[in-house]
Amino acid sequence: MSATTKITFSSIIAGIIIIFMTFFFIKPTISQVSNLNTVFAEKKQELATTEQQIRAFRTVQSDLNQAVERGLLAEAIVEKTDLVEPIINVEKAASQSALIQTLDIIDDVKSQYKPILKDSADLEEIPYLLSTESDFFGFVNYLKYLEHLPQFTEVSKMNLTAEIIQAKDKPPTRTGKIFGNIEGAFFVKITQ
């Protein structure tokens, strides 16, 4: 065989191998890459849709929380005819914290009471005076209950006095009992 024949034969064989590789290896690989690219584009679209749904869910959740908070806020201020609800809750707070209390609603507001709100057209203050008797932990628990009442109340002044017993020829002894006076106000809606 001559050199030209060998080169021609080698070129034909190389051409056949290239054509065979193109049809049986390269084309299927390109097709698989194209399919993967399509799947990737679909997954990217699904991800974008999921992200939009998450944003929409968070917006709805936030709106729902605000609506619930508004509902709680609306329930936190009662009408004057429903003032018994916050009074009952104050009494429950006293019983749950083992505290003895006397609640006095101040009728003559203009005499001694300094209003907390300045010229509110929607709210009226109903001032009260609490006289309490308990130990330190009972009083702290009572304040915790007062702070978490479902209705608004404002504590404007608080005086605490420890009970001290004076015996003959002995130094004063603290008994652990605390007497407290709390001035505050309930807030009620003004109904026209």
pLDDT in tens, the chain (192 residues): 678 887 887 888 888 887 777 777 777 777 888 888 888 889 888 898 888 888 877 877 776 676 666 666 667 788 888 888 888 998 998 888 888 988 888 876 555 666 677 776 778 888 889 999 999 888 888 988 888 888 888 888 899 998 888 888 888 888 889 999 998 888 888 776
| CB-based contact 153:86 (threshold 8 Å) | yes
Q: Which two tokens stand for residue 150?
A: 């479902």
Helix, strand, coil % in the chain, rounded to nearest 5: 55, 25, 20
Provide the pLDDT for residue 181. Answer: 92
For position 77, what pLDDT does the model report? 80
DSSP string spanning 113-138? Answer: PPPSSSS-SSEEEEEEEEEEEEEHHH
Full residue range of the structural domain in which residue 185 is found = 79-189
**What is the count of structural domains for the chain?**
2
pTM over 0.85: no
Domain boundary (56, 76, 96) is at: 76
pLDDT for res 130: 92
Same domain? 67 vs 115 = no
Indicate the residue among 34, 55, 76 that finishes a domain: 76
Q: Please tell me whether residues 72 and 85 are part of one structural domain.
A: no
Distance separating alpha carbons of residues 36 and 31, to the nearest angstrom: 9
* pLDDT score recorded for residue 132: 92
Say yes or no: 58 and 85 in one domain. no
pLDDT on residue 71: 67
